[in-house]
Structure 1
Amino acid sequence: MPSGVHIHNVRGQLFAAAERVLLRDGPDALTSRAVTEEANCAKGVLHRHFTDFDAFLAELVLDRVRGIEDRTTTLRAAAGTGSVVDNLADALRDLFGPVTVATVALIIFRDGLRVRLREAGLTGIPLAVHGAAMVAAYLTAERELGRLAGDTDIETLAPTLVGAGHLLFADRTSAPPQTAAVRKMVTTVIAGVLRPQA
């Protein structure tokens, strides 16, 4: 692409290109050259907007985290409607879509990216941490509505659901688990706290 051509929404185009490369070829194939070739732009475009490739990847992860934060509001608003099991199963299926699963692998794969994420104030695997916070907000709302037992240990239950969910979805090369498998896991994990009417 000629250097004088203006690209609209550069960050969005580069993020989308990175996600396509990540999904198609895996984390070890994700390089600045692969991203800019996928986005059909000059390599210098990425480096004009980000200090280096790990800074770009950190912003990509932060963009995904913001998406989880947005979905938290929607999920919390679903409290008291539908079934608790279905709401949680749907939330986990949404959380662990192919891009998120591939991004978790990327975070594990790249030391420099983990350093940048810590510098940004994010700990652990940020997508899982924020996913657990999303689930915790929903469980708290359901407990307040009486659909979960009043003594429900949300601080343990939320990461348990997210961890078990990740294990179900973690194999990038296979089809995602069937809805029935996700519902079975959720039902098993929350069986001890779910009130009969939920």
Structure 2
Amino acid sequence: MPTGVALRDVREQLFDAAERVLLRDGPSVLTSRAVTTEAGVAKGVLHRHFADFDAFLAEFVRDRVGRMDPQVAALRESAGTGTVAGNLTDALIGLFGSAAVAIVALITFRDELRARLRHTWPAGVPVLTEAVTMIEGYLGAERELGRIASDAEVEMLAPTLIGTAHLLFADRTGPAPERDSVRKMVTTVLAGAVR
């Protein structure tokens, strides 16, 4: 790209390029050069907008976690409609069908990135922590509506669902689990809780 040409929405362009590289090639190939090449910009562009590559990655993760907000709202609004298992199955497929699994691998792969993210998320892995909060909020709403047992421990069910779903989706190179497999996992975890 010639110098002096204004780039519109350069941060978003770089974040989208990082996601494509991460999904296609994995965290070990995600470098500033790979991102700028994928984005079609000069390498210096990234460093003009971010202090270093780990600062870029931290902002990338925060941006992608922020994109979960519509999913959180949609799941919360589904409380009282459809079936609990169906709503959770859809939410988990949507969550883990996105870049979430690859971002977990990236955070695990890069110590400095993990350290920077601790300022925002003192515990847990950001994408998974937000997902647990999303599921817990939904289950709490269903419990208030009487579709989940009043004594159901949603604080335990939510991380169990997220952890088990993560295991189902963890192999980025293989086919995604079938909907029936995800639904079976959800119904098994919730067996004693759903009314």
State TM-score, norm by structure 2: 0.97
Aligned ranges for residues 35-114 of structure 1 at < 5 Å?
A: 35-114=35-114
Q: Which stretches in structure 2 are left out of the alignment for 5+ residues?
A: none
Query: What is the alpha-carbon distance in structure 1 between the residues aligned to residue 119 and residue 79 of structure 2?
Result: 34
Q: Point out 4+ residue stretches in structure 1 off by more than 4 angstroms.
A: none
Deviation for aligned residue 1:172: 0.6
Query: What is the alpha-carbon distance in structure 1 between the residues aligned to residue 123 and residue 65 of structure 2?
Result: 12
Query: In the alignment, residue 34 of structure 1 is paired with which amino acid?
Result: A
Query: Aligned residue for 1:139?
Result: 139
Residues 100-135 of structure 1: per-residue CA shift (max 9 Å, x gap): 111110000000100110123453211000000000
Query: Aligned residue for 1:31?
Result: 31
Query: What is the alpha-carbon distance in structure 2 between the residues aligned to residue 148 and residue 16 of structure 1?
Result: 39
Checking the alignment, whether the CA contact within 8 Å between 1:136 and 1:155 is kept in structure 2 is: yes
- Answer with 96-105 or 32-41: which moved more: 96-105
Query: In the alignment, residue 69 of structure 1 is paired with which amino acid?
Result: D
Query: What is the alpha-carbon distance in structure 2 between the residues aligned to residue 4 and residue 11 of structure 1?
Result: 17
Count of residue pairs the alignment pairs up: 195
State TM-score, norm by structure 1: 0.96
2:99 alignment partner, SS class: helix
For the aligned residue pairs, the C-alpha RMSD in angstroms reads: 0.9
Query: Aligned residue for 2:175?
Result: 175
Shift in CA distance, 122/72, structure 1 to aligned 2, threshold 3 Å: farther
Q: State whether structure 2 residue 127 is matched by structure 1 residue 127.
A: yes
Residues 23-61 of structure 1: per-residue CA shift (max 9 Å, x gap): 111100000000000000011111111111001111111
Deviation for aligned residue 1:82: 0.4
Query: What is the alpha-carbon distance in structure 1 between the residues aligned to residue 38 and residue 130 of structure 2?
Result: 29
